[in-house]
Structure 1
């Protein structure tokens, strides 16, 4: 019935994929209690930005992958940066909302990807398991977003800002429908697992422990958050650290199996050189922050501001926070476009069913 497989190893998976979400919650709760809300930006600086660097290293670092995706890696950033500049000049809030929505999709798809890696490593799951895993992540994440107190107040507030009529009864109806769909799906999901076992397919318990830990974090903070800080700290720690872990593992495994790689990648992959990987990520974070912000000259918790995307929204009755100068337009473009390029690259560089990508998994 069960066949266990690990992404890294038994001990490493227990640390990074099972225990980390609970540690992230503890850190987030401490931050919510003792840090100002603006400290969320410091978490972005030291966790989120370095995990963007991991993407650039992963995509541009291997010559074979560079040759395979050269057109995408060259053309896509130019298009994304161009569209972001135009969007920020026309409607900054629209850009911010689109980036935020893609960020949510990107987050749930990362957990879906890890779930698929678990089945790949253990050789488990029916052929239909991937579709059920995808639906599981979409439905449970959407339910959290639609029904939790934290996210409900955000999307309801946004609808009011857009002058969309909404009543308390309408909100309650959304909650009821969402929970109904979620419960029905979970019954079907369990039924599919039972069917899979009866058909002779085995299940990897690590996949379900991982999904359980991930969604425990998201649901816990969505119901317990009293400020943005808990979500930003806990979510970003889980998402960013797990991403860095899989990228470093991918680099080491691909270097060991392929051999003919660039010197930088070979050096990073040497045993004990994870410190080089971390150092490069932190240097990138500092350089990036210096480029995008005279508001980011301080790197301490509670000293960083992130308000540029909300500038000059007179059409929505919102006052201007600061003037959108040329430098601030550049900074806003960098913050948003870099994130979108990261989301786009991740949409095709982690296809678990791709035999060439499997060499690093």
Structure 2
């Protein structure tokens, strides 16, 4: 056994076999299949006008899901007293200051919008990393065992296909917003990335292949020292990585944005409910009532999805309202980075 190995817990799962497979492990696969199924159908092709904008059912549904999972972090940051007490300035002062800055400055508004796009990519890759570390811990391994290897693999398999693949320009074209503040240097970035994408792709493929070999060799060495292989972690990393490469990299069905954001949002909402659902039920006085937790779940979904629907109603030209959605997005990415911690045993 390795020097830092931990006692094996009673279950390798985060919540339970059924819960994990439904909401944490299988979403990359079923989201991919769903994206393929709706490709070319009226769900994503037929437009209708709502709140003055042309939309599709699939496009609106995924936008609502995205916004819903973003605001769900508040149940963990502000809704959990134990966590809230740890970071009073981050949870109370910073959001207000950021909101004021976005409302008052065009530069801050544009920078926040572009930052949100790329922080989302980083954050999404790290969500898979977080789940992987929990499954590793549940297999009886130390929180630090192989941690850096999993961190790099999660980022490589999520962000790599974006830079090297078919959806690269969809992400980098956000830099064109800098034209609104006269920063023409940054508006050249999308063209630069398009012109050099093939070189970046080969660098990522070559470097990624070498890293994957090193990753496997390193874990083989750790296994000889007593590391316990988590089959659930292996499945999660493999299925998510393959889905990302196929979807972001090739976008064969044209639904990359729908697929990748759908499974990410479902996983996150599933995790928040697993950790905070019982607390919410107690706060509402429903935890001990028959069927009470189902009512609490309905309330949780109503609040998060309701915010997601409201965010779709918000007109981006109304800065005071649009700033709220940007603050929620950026605080979600930031809060998520430090309040879910395997090493601090806060998961």
TM-score (norm 1): 0.76
Q: Label 1:232 to 1:265 Cα distance change in 2 as closer, same or farther (>3 A).
A: farther
SS of aligned partner of 1:123: coil
CA distance in 2, matches of 1:104, 1:236: 10
| Residue 162 (str. 1) matches residue 187 (str. 2) | yes
CA distance in 2, matches of 1:230, 1:275: 33
2:248 alignment counterpart = 222
Corresponding residue to 2:328 among 331, 338, 345: 338
Pairwise mapping of residues 263-282 of structure 1 onto structure 2 (< 5 A)?
Answer: 263-264=282-283, 267=286, 272=291, 273-282=293-302
User: 1:274 Cα shift?
Assistant: 4.0
CA distance in 1, matches of 2:80, 2:285: 10
1:303 alignment counterpart = none
User: 1:216 Cα shift?
Assistant: 2.1
1:203-249 deviations in Å (ceiling 9; x for gaps) = 1110010111212222221244268x612321222111111111111
1:239 alignment counterpart = 264
CA distance in 2, matches of 1:292, 1:156: 21
CA distance in 2, matches of 1:24, 1:67: 37
SS of aligned partner of 2:226: coil
Contact 1:62 1:265 in 2 (8 A): no
User: 1:265 Cα shift?
Assistant: 6.3
How many residues get paired? 318
Corresponding residue to 1:196 among 208, 219, 222: 222
Contact 2:68 2:306 in 1 (8 A): no
User: 1:103 Cα shift?
Assistant: 0.8
User: 1:77 Cα shift?
Assistant: 1.0
Aligned-residue CA RMSD (Å): 3.2
2:37 alignment counterpart = 30
Structure 2 residue ranges without an equivalent (≥5): 2-7, 48-54, 177-184
| Residue 205 (str. 1) matches residue 231 (str. 2) | yes
1:90-139 deviations in Å (ceiling 9; x for gaps) = 37543321110111111111111111111112213684411111111122
Contact 2:14 2:20 in 1 (8 A): yes
CA distance in 1, matches of 2:174, 2:310: 33
Structure 1 residue ranges without an equivalent (≥5): 256-260, 296-307, 309-323
CA distance in 2, matches of 1:112, 1:225: 23
Pairwise mapping of residues 60-209 of structure 1 onto structure 2 (< 5 A)?
Answer: 60-87=78-105, 89-90=106-107, 92-124=109-141, 127-151=144-168, 154-155=171-172, 162-164=187-189, 166=192, 170-209=196-235
Contact 2:77 2:339 in 1 (8 A): yes
Q: Label 1:28 to 1:269 Cα distance change in 2 as closer, same or farther (>3 A).
A: farther
CA distance in 1, matches of 2:143, 2:74: 34
2:51 alignment counterpart = none
User: 1:142 Cα shift?
Assistant: 2.9
CA distance in 2, matches of 1:13, 1:285: 22
CA distance in 2, matches of 1:31, 1:178: 31
Q: Label 1:155 to 1:283 Cα distance change in 2 as closer, same or farther (>3 A).
A: closer
CA distance in 2, matches of 1:213, 1:59: 30
